[in-house]
Structure 1
Amino acid sequence: MEAGRDCVVEERAEEEVMVFLPDLAAKRVLYLNATRSFVYKLAAVAAHVTAVDSMQHNANEKLKDHHVDNVTFKCDDVTKLDFPSASFDLVCSSKLFENLHDPSASNLMSRVLSWLTPGGHFFLREKSYHPSVGKVVTGDGRVYRNGRKYCGMLHATTSPTSALNVTRGKNLVAYIASGDPCEVCLLAERVERETTEQLMETRYSLSFILKLEWIFGHTWVSTGGEATTREFCGHLKLRPGQRVLDVGCGAGGSAFFMARHYGIHIHGVDLSTSMINLSIDRQENLNTDDKKRIQFEICDIMKAEYASNTYDVIYSRDSILHIPNKDKLFPKLYRWLKPGGTLFTTDYFRGTGRLSQEFLSYEKKSCSAFVTMETYGATLRAAGFKEVKEQDLCDKFYDIQKEELDSFTSTREAFVDQYSQEDFDVLVNICSNKLGWVKSQQFVWGAFTAKK
C-alpha cells in the first residue's frame, strides 16, 4: 500500500513538472539520470529526447519498451558526457546531483551551459533533506543540498559570453500534500552574461533579507510585519479552504500567518531566489497541517500563467511597486481571481509634493516604478476590477516606521557585532529618508481593495 501511494505521488509530481517546463514543441531534450515513465512524457511533446542512464541494465530495460522513434537511450557516465555546443533546447536531470560532489556538479553544470542553445533551459529536480544547511554529505557519499545552494551554483555557472539565470523554482505540490515541502525543482535559462548581472543586481541577497528582518521581525520584510498583516487579514474575511495567491511573498511571513491562523491554502510567488529558498527552509519547521497548505515558487509574475478563476484572494504587500507595466499585470490578476474574489494590495506611491533628487535616486536604485494612487486605482478599474477602494496609510506608516526605527536603533550594538556599522547606517538612512519623504508628501504608503 505504501509503495502504491508513493507511485501515485510520483506520477502526480511528474505531471506537475511537465506543466512547469517550457514549451517543448519541436525542441531537442537531453534527459540525465533518466526514468522510464518521464522519458515518454517528454517524448510525447518534444521533437527528440536523448535519455542517459549510467546503468547498462536500466538502459536495456528502457529499450525493451522503446516504441517511439524520437528517443535515443544512452548508457554513460554523466560526468564524462560530451556533446557539441548548442545541441539541446532543454537539459533536464532528476535526482542526479545528490550523487555528485561539488567539483563534479559544478563541472557538469558548466558543460550543460555549453550544450544549451541560446535561450535554452536547464531543469533540475532534487530532494533537499536538510533545508536549514547548505549541504550535507551522508555516509553513503550522497550530497544533499538545499535550494539556495543549488541556486548559487547555477548563478555561478558562466562562460565568457553566457550564463545560467534561475527563472523559476518551486517545491512540488504533490509532495507538499504528503508533508514533504523539500522536493524542489529549478529552471534556469541560458542568457547573455550581462543580462544575468543586471538581473542579479535587482535581487535581494540572503544577507540583506536577514538584515531587514532586524527591522520588521522574523520572516517579515514589509512595513509593520505581523501587526499590519494581522490587521489587514482581519478585513479580508478569510475562510478555511480558500486559495490565496501571495504576489511578492518575500520571506514567507504572510503565507505562514494565513496558513496558521485561517487554514487557507497559500501560493507564494517571488522573483527573488533568496526569498523563496529561505521561505521553503522555514516551511519545513511548520506543523504538518500548515506545511501542507503552502507552496512557494520562484517566478516573474509578469511571465506566470495560472488557470482562470483559481484564487479566492490575491494578496500583495509592497511588491507591485517594482513592476512598471501594471496595466499588463492587473488584467492577469483579474483573470486568475474567482468571480466575487478579492484583490488586496499595499504599496508605495509617489505623493503630491515636489520630488527631490534624493527620492528619485532611491526610486532608480531600488528598481521601483512608483505611480500615484490615482493612477494605480485607474489602472485597476481599467483591468475590470469593481468596488475599488483606496486608503492613504501615510499617518500609520509614519508611526510604524518611527517605532521600528527606534526599536532597531536600540539593537545597534548587537547588529554591528553580527554585521557592521556601515550596514547599520545604511538601514537607518533608508528608514529616516522614508520618514522625511512622507512628511514632505513625496512618498505615500497606501492600500487598495478591489473585487472581481
Structure 2
Amino acid sequence: MWFSVLLTACARKNMTEFWKEHSVEATVEEMMLDSSAQQISNHEVPEILSILPKLGGMKVLELGAGIGRYTKHLVKVARHVTAVDFMQKFLDKNKEDNGHYSNVDFLQADVTCLQFPDNRFDLIFSNWLFMYLSDTELESLTQRMLRWLQPNGYLFFRESCFHQSGDTKRSFNPTKYRTPADYNHLLMSVVQEYPMGGEQCFGFEIAMTKSVQTYIKMKKNRNQLCWLLQKVERNQSDNQGFETFQQFLDSRQYSRQGILRYEKIFGTGYVSTGGPHTTKEFVDMLNLQPGQRVLDVGCGIGGGDFYMAKAFKVEVLGMDLSSNMVEIAVERALQESIPLVQFEVGDATKRLFPDASFDVVYSRDTILHIKDKLALFKQFHSWLKPGGKVLISDYCCGEKPWSPIFEEYVQKRGYILCTPQEYGKLLEEAGFQQVHAEDRTAQFVQVLKEELQRFEDIRDEFIEEFLEEDYNDIIQGWNEKLKRCELGDQRWGLFYAEHK
C-alpha cells in the first residue's frame, strides 16, 4: 500500500514539474506543445465544438481548461461553466480573458483530488487530460465523473493516442499514450451501482469516437482521437450478458477474426451478402454528384464508402458501433489513401449532427439491431438536406406467427425485425416522401446460392487461412438462412425515400 502511494506521489510531482516547464508564458503554443498551435487551434476548435450536444441550459464542467481555448466558447452558450486546471498560470490567463462572464467559476485543482456533488453537471468536457493520468487515477476519476453527471449527461474527451503529436522539445515526457481500445476498456468498465443494488446500474456508452480531422488534414496524423460518451442505465440482460451492446457485437458477432472471415467470403472491404455487386446496384440509384456528403450508418469495414468516394467524388462519413469494424476500416483507409472517406465508432441512436448535414443517408443490413426505428428515421430526416435521399437494405421478417426455430434464432441474436411493409410505413411516419419499400428476398436467395457455390470453390484456400470448423460453421449457417427464407420467416428488403 505504502509503495503504491509513493509511486502516485512521485507521478504527480513529475507531472507538476513537466507543466511548470511548459507554462512559463501561458501561451497556446506551450499548452498544445506545438509551434503551429495557433494555426491548428483555429481549425480544431470549431471542429470539436460541432461534436458537442446543444449546450443551451447545460451546466458544464471543463477539466484541464488551460488558458481557455474552449472556455470562451462554452460560456457563451452554456448556463454555467466550471473551469478547472492543474496549473495556476494557465488558469490565471483563462480568468484574465474570460473572467468578465458571470456564468463561469475558475478552480485550480488536481483532478485526482477533485470532488463535486452527485448529478451536478450535464456535460463534462476534457481536452488532453486523461493521458496525464495513470490507469488507476483514470479509473478513479471515471467513477467520480459518473456520479457528477446527471443521468443521460455527456462526457466529451480528446487524447493523443499511440504517440506524441506536438513538435515541442521535452526534457522528459510523463505522458501515457494509450490506444483507443485502452480508453474504451477503462471508461466502459466502470459502473455506478444503484444504492439498493440489483442488476441495473449506470455506465458510459459510446455515442461517438473519431479522429480529429484537423490533425489528419494539417499534419497527416490520425492519432488525435475524441469521444462523446453518455451516462445511461445499464441492464446486462438487455445485451446478452455483456455490459454494453457494443461489447456484445465486438465479442460475439463481429470479432476481428469473424469480420476477416466475412471479408474472405464477400470480397475485399465487404462483410455482407452481395458485396460489391449489390453495392454498385444500390449506389447507382442515388445519382450521386461530386462534393455531396454521405453518411453510411453501419459502414462495416468501408468497401461501399471507398466505392462511393472513388466513383463519384463524394465525401463519406462511415459510422459503425463495432470498434473492430472501424479499426479495420481505418486500416483500409490508410491503404486506400482516400481523404474523402472518414470513419468513426458511433451509435446512430445517440449521435448528434446539425440539421441538413448530409445529402444521402445510406445503410446496409444494420438497422435490424435497433429497437426504436421510428426515432432513428426521424433523425435521418433531420440530418438530410431538402431533396436528400435515404437508401437502406435490411434483414426483415414475414408476418407472424413465425416458426419456433425462427423465434429462437431472433431472440438469440437480439434482432428487432419488421416486415418490409412496416419498414415503409415507419419511413413515411418519419416524414419521408416517395417511399419505395421492396421485398427483395428472391434476389437475396439467388445471391446467397451464388455465394455459397463460390465459397465451396475456395474451400481449400479458406481453410488454409482460417479453420475447417469455420468453413463448416459458415456452410451450416448459410443453409439455415436459405431455409428460413424458404419458410417465409426471414425476408430482405430494399428501401428508398426522399426528403422534401
Give me the TM-score of the superposition, normalised by structure 2. Answer: 0.76
Aligned structure 1 segments of 4 or more residues deviating by more than 6 angstroms: 2-5
Query: Which letter maps to 2:225?
Result: V
Say whether residues 1:436 and 2:476 are aligned partners: no
Query: Aligned to 1:142, which of 168, 175, 188?
Result: 175
Q: Could you say which structure has the larger radius of gyration?
A: 2
- 2:94 maps to 1:49: no
1:376 aligned onto 2:409: no
Cα deviations by residue, 1:207-256 (Å, 9 ceiling, x for unpaired): 62431331234543221333432443344443322211112212323223
Which whole-Å deviations, capped at 9, do the CAs of 1:254-284 have from their partners, x for residues lacking one? 2233223432101223333443454345434
Q: Is the 8 A contact 2:121 2:148 kept in 1?
A: yes
RMSD of equivalent CA atoms: 3.4
Kindly indicate whether the alpha-carbon contact (under 8 Å) linking 2:420 and 2:437 is maintained by their aligned counterparts in 1: no
Question: Using a 3 Å threshold, how does the CA distance of structure 1 residues 256 and 183 change in structure 2: closer, same or farther?
Answer: farther
Matched, 1:169 2:209: yes
**CA-CA distance at 1:335 after TM superposition:** 4.4
Provide closer, same or farther for how the CA distance between residues 401 and 377 of structure 1 changes in structure 2, counting only shifts above 3 A.
farther
Match of 1:127 in 2: 160
Asked if residue 13 in structure 1 is aligned to residue 44 in structure 2, the reply is yes
Map 1:295-306 → 2, pairs under 5 A: 295-306=342-353
Q: Are positions 1:32 and 2:57 aligned together?
A: no
Map residues 12-411 of structure 1 onto 2, 5 A cutoff: 12-35=43-66, 36-65=68-97, 66-129=99-162, 140-161=173-194, 162-178=202-218, 179-194=220-235, 198=239, 200-201=244-245, 203-205=248-250, 208-217=255-264, 218-287=268-337, 290-291=338-339, 293-351=340-398, 355-381=402-428, 383-386=431-434, 388=436, 390=438, 392=440, 393-403=443-453, 405-406=455-456, 410=460, 411=462
Q: Which moved more, 1:261-270 or 1:204-213?
A: 204-213
- Given that 1:128 and 1:183 are in contact with CA atoms closer than 8 Å, whether structure 2 keeps it comes out as yes
Distance, in Å, in 2 between the alignment partners of 1:446 and 1:258 is: 21
**Higher mean C-alpha deviation, range 239-248 or range 109-118:** 109-118
Greater alpha carbon shift after TM alignment, 147-156 vs 210-219:
210-219
Taking the aligned partners of 2:108 and 2:484, their CA distance within structure 1 comes to 64
Q: Does the aligned pair in 1 maintain the 2:207–2:348 contact within 8 Å?
A: no
List runs of 5+ in structure 1 lacking aligned partners. Answer: 132-137
Amino acid at match of 2:59: R
Asked if the contact 2:58/2:122 (under 8 Å) is kept, the reply is: yes
AA aligned opposite 1:60: D
- TM norm structure 1: 0.83
CA distance in 2 between partners of 1:34 and 1:270 (Å): 31
DSSP 3-state at the match of 2:235: helix
Query: Alpha carbons of 1:62 and 1:379: their partners in 2 closer, same or farther (altered >3 Å)?
Result: closer
Hey, what's the Cα distance between the residues in 1 that align with 2:107 and 2:356? 44
Identical pairs, percent = 32
1:118-171 CA distance string (max 9 Å, x none): 33322111133569xxxxxx9734222333332222111224333222223333
Superposed displacement of residue 356, structure 1 = 1.9
Length, aligned pairs only: 438
Following TM superposition, by how much is the alpha carbon of 1:57 offset from its aligned partner in structure 2, in angstroms? 1.7
CA–CA separation in structure 2 for the residues paired with 1:87 and 1:381: 40
CA shift in 2, pair 1:130/1:432, >3 Å: farther
Q: Which string of whole-angstrom CA distances, capped at 9 and with x for unpartnered residues, describes residues 367-395 of structure 1?
A: 32222223333444554321626362234
